[in-house]
Amino acid sequence: MDGAAIMWDRPPPLKELVDIGSLAEVCRSFAELYGIGVRVYDVDGARLVDLRMGNIDFCGYVFGKAKGQHLCTATVQEIKSSSFRSASGDPRHEAIVRHTCFTGLRYLTLPLLHEMDLLGKIIMGPFLPDDLERLPDELCSISQDFDSEEATRLLSGLRRAPEETIRKVLAQLGSIIEVMVHSGYKVHLTSTMHIESVTATHHELLDKNQRLEESLDKLRELDRLKSNFLATVSHELRTPLTSIIGYSEMLLEGLVGDMSQEQRQHVATIMAKGDELLQLIVSILDISKIESGTVSLMPVELDLIELTETAVSTIKPHAQKKHLSIRTHLARELPVLHADKDKVRQCIVNLLANAVKFTPDQGEIEILIEPYVGARRHAPPASASDSGYFLFEALDEEFIRITVRDNGIGIDSKQKERIFDTFYQVDSSSTRAFGGAGLGLSIVKAYVEAHGGEVWVDSAPGRGSAFSLLFPAGREANSKAQSIAGSS
C-alpha cells in the first residue's frame, strides 16, 4: 500500500504527529504552574512525557517500606493500564477518570483523542485532594514503624487542591495538546500529499519522456529514410538528365545536321533549363549527403586566386544577363588555407548565385578575401578542460574571411536566423520570383562548419547583403568531417 492510501487510514502514532520536545514544554509549563506532575503515554503504553512535582520525598518514604513498595507499584500499574474503552467501546463518551492511591493521593487521566481515534492519555497527579481529612488507615498500617507525623510533613510538598479544579486544568491541557495534534496531523497530511503528488508527477513525466523519445526515434528514422530517398531519386534523375543535356549539346554543335535559328534557340533553352535542373539535383544530393553525415573533406593547400576565378567564371554568364558587375578583392598577404577545394569553390559559387538572384539589374557584387582575427560568434560549448576556449569568453583566432556582398534587396533581421535552414525561403513568393529551392545557403553553412568555420550575414532590407565565411587559417583540417549535420 502506498503512502496516500495510508493517509486515509488511522493517523500515525502520537510521537510522529507532535514534536515530543514541544509537547514536554507545554506539559512542563502546566506542571510548574500548578505544582502537579504530568505524564503522557501513547496508545501502546510508551511514556512520552514524565514530569514529577513535589511528591518525590513523600513517595520515596512510602516506597521505602516493603508493603508500600508493593501497593505503590500496583497503583502505578492500574493507572497506566486503565482503559478508556467503555462498554459501548466509544472513548468519546469517556471523560476524565479518577484514580485514588492507597495513600489518599489522587490522579486524573484524560484520553487523548484525534477524530475518534485514541492516541494516548495524559495523567495528572498526584495531588492532595482538599477533601482528604486525614491519612487513610491503609497507609498508616503499611508497617510498624510508619511515622504519620513525618508522612504528613512530607505531604506538605504536594499541591492540595479541589479535584474539580484539577479536572479543569487537565481538560485545558488536553485541548491544547489536541490542537498540537491537529496541526501535526495537518502537516503530516500536507507533506505526505506533497510527496505523493510529486512522485506521481515524476512518473507521469518519465512516461511522457519515454513516449517522446520513442517518437523522436521514429522521426529520426523517417528523416534518415527521407535523406536516402532524396539521394536515390536525385541520382536516378541525374542519369537521364545528363543524356538530355548531352544530346542537346550535340544538336547545338551541329553534329547531326544544321538547324534553323529558331530551332537552335529552343534547343539552347532546353540545355540551359537542363543545366538548372542538374544544379538543383546536385544540390539535393549534397544536402542528402550532409544530412546523412556521409560528406568527407579532402583538404589541400588552396590557391585562392585561382579558386575565386573559376567560381566567378561559373556564375559570369548569369550575371551578364542582368548586367551585374562582379569585382574581386584579394588581400595581398593571406595566411595559408587548408581546405577542400571543391567545397570551398561551391560555397563561393552558391553565394554568388544567391547574390545574382537577389540583386536588381545593373547591381554590383563584390568578393573580398582577407585575413581576419577575432573571436568566434558561436563559440562551441566550452568546458573547463577545453584548451582552446575559456568558459565565459572565446579567444581570438586567426581566420581567412571570404565575403560576398551585393546591393540587392537585403534580408530583415527575423529572417537572418533562418535563411541557412534547408529549403527555407524568405517567403514562398521568392521561389517563384527568383527560383531556387533554398538549398544553396544551407549547403554553404554545412560545408563551412565542417571546416571548423563560421558563416553569418550582415544585411538590412533594401541595403544589400554581405555573407561572410570564416575558415580557420593554417590548420590542417581533418580529412574526414566528423559530423556535418544538416542545418535544418
Partner 1 sequence: MQLNAAERELTLKVVYYGPGLSGKTTNLQAIHARLDPNVRGRLMTLDTADDRTLFFDMMPVFFQTASGLKVRLKLFTVPGQAMHDSTRRLVLQGVDAVAFIADSQINQSKANNAYWSDLLKNLQQNGISPGEIPIVIQFNKRDLPETRTDEEIEGLRLKGKEPIFSAVAIRGIGVLETLHGLMLLTFARLEKKLDFGRKFGVTEEEFMRGIFRNLDLEDSDIEAAFG
Binding site for partner 1 (CB under 8 A): 4-5, 8-9, 88-90, 92, 114-116, 182, 185-186, 189-190, 193-194, 196-197, 200-201, 204
3-state SS, residue 135: coil
- 21 vs 89, which CB is nearer to partner 1? 89
CB of 335 to partner 1, least distance (A): 58
The rounded distance, in Å, linking the Cα atoms of 300 and 314 is 21
Longest pairwise C-alpha distance within the chain: 154
C-beta of 2: minimal distance to partner 1 in Å? 8
Residue 15 or 188 with smaller CB distance to partner 1: 188
Nearest approach in angstroms of CB 203 to partner 1 is: 9
The SS3 call for residue 193 is helix
Closest approach of Cβ 80 to partner 1, in Å? 23
Other Cβ atoms within 10 Å of 133 Cβ, number: 7
Question: Under DSSP, is residue 212 helix (H, G, I), strand (E, B) or coil?
Answer: helix
Looking at beta carbons only, is 18 or 443 nearer to partner 1? Answer: 18
Shortest reach from residue 189's CB to partner 1, in Å: 7
Q: Which is nearer to partner 1, 207 or 221 (CB)?
A: 207
CB-nearer residue toward partner 1: 114 or 475? 114
Backbone CA torsion sign across 69, 75, 78, 81: negative
How far apart are alpha carbons 91 and 113 in whole angstroms? 8
Q: Which three cell numbers stand for residue 345?
A: 569553390
- Nearest to partner 1 of 201, 228 (CB atom): 201
State the nearest-atom distance from the C-beta of 167 to partner 1, in Å.
19
Mapped onto helix, strand or coil, the DSSP state of residue 332 is coil
As measured in angstroms, the least distance from the Cβ of 177 to partner 1 is: 15
Please, which residue, 93 or 134, has the CB nearer to partner 1? Answer: 93
User: What gap in Å lies between CA 279 and CA 284, rounded to an integer?
Assistant: 9
Contact 161, 35 (CB under 8 A): no
d(Cα 29, Cα 172) in Å, to the nearest integer? 12
DSSP, residue by residue, 402-466: EEEEE-SS---HHHHTTTTSTT--SSHHHHHHH---S-HHHHHHHHHHHTT-EEEEEE-TTS-EE
**What is residue 92's DSSP assignment?**
G
Alpha-carbon dihedral sign for residues 277, 319, 405, 359: negative
Least distance CB 208 / partner 1 (angstroms):
13
Question: 30 vs 185, which CB is nearer to partner 1?
Answer: 185
CB of 11 to partner 1, least distance (A): 11
Nearer Cβ to partner 1 (189/259): 189
Q: How far is CA 383 from CA 6, 380, 452, in A?
A: 48, 9, 18
Distance separating alpha carbons of residues 436 and 423, to the nearest angstrom: 9
Q: Crossing angle, helix 341-358 and helix 440-450, to 10 degrees?
A: 150
